[in-house]
Amino acid sequence: MLVKWIRCTAVDRRGFEQGQRKWAGLLGEPGFRGQGGGWSRGRDGVAHVFAFWESRAFYDSFMARSHERLAAGQSGTYKDSQVKLFEYRFDVKTGFEPHFTDADVVRVAHCTVREDRVEHFALMQRKVWNPAMAGSPGMLRGVFGEAPGNEFLVLSMWQRAAERGKYRADRVERLSLQAQTEADVAALTGDVVDLDPHWTV
């Protein structure tokens, strides 16, 4: 599975939202699995969109055929667009499906990992972070993806922001020490995204 993460800043918020609804045209595209997104909680006007495809081949075919037609609806409504593609490595909690209808919040963490620490980082995600997140109230499911250049995406879906906040405050520092995160990670950025149900495809 391929995970596409788009982050941009809206310059015409209403126009951007109207354009985002037109991505419903993705339904029926071969290999398309689901899409959702919303607004950053901490950064004004920053939008995140997450799309899932069966494979890179299906995604490349869509980009060559239909993407421009669908994207035209949002032309001129945003700036500073960043697009990253990640190959699925494993689930965070079991049985990941790219559905957004039961989630309110997505937490996204983007890590650049030191080259000699990549396997350790992935192992700690499985052994330390995944069980901690899977056992947290309100955590639904998530996915761990990898891109060239030792880049990783940890995307998790939550039912209520308050529950995710409780998990972070109580446990992140201790878990980071246990996982030796500081030794593994060269750069880390993240965000909390309030999902907009109208963006779900």
Q: Which residues contact 4 (CB under 8 A, 6 or more apart)?
A: 49, 50, 51, 52, 53, 59, 83, 84, 85, 86
**107 has pLDDT over 80:** yes
Q: Kind and range of the H or E element at 135?
A: none
Six-digit token pair at 40?
Answer: 């950053």
Task: Tell me the two tokens of residue 62.
Answer: 């869509």
pLDDT at 170: 63
Contact criterion met (CB below 8 Å) for 38 and 47:
yes
Tell me the C-alpha distance between 158 and 125, whole Å.
18
Q: What is the pLDDT of residues 136-190, one digit of tens each?
A: 888 999 999 999 999 999 999 999 866 666 766 667 889 999 999 999 999 999 9
Contact 21, 198 (CB under 8 A): yes
Which candidate, 52, 42, 45, places its Cα nearest to that of 107? 42
What pTM, to 2 d.p., does this model score? 0.94
Q: Are 34 and 99 in contact (CB under 8 A)?
A: yes
**Residue 78 CB: number of other CB atoms within 10 A?**
22
Strands (E), 102-196: 105-113, 139-147, 151-158, 185-195
Name the DSSP class of 187. Answer: E
Tokens of 19: 């354009």
> What pLDDT, on a 0 to 100 scale, did the predictor assign at position 5?
98
Pairing of strands 151-158, 105-113: antiparallel
**Stretch among 8-22, 36-50, 169-183, 184-198 having the lowest mean pLDDT:** 169-183
Mean of pLDDT values over 118-146: 94
Query: CATH number for the domain including 67?
Result: 3.30.70.100
Domain span at 141: 2-199
Domain count, the chain: 1
What mean pLDDT value characterizes the chain? 94
- Compute the radius of gyration of the chain from its Cα atoms: 17
pLDDT attached to residue 169 = 62
DSSP result, 43-55: STTEEEEEEEES-
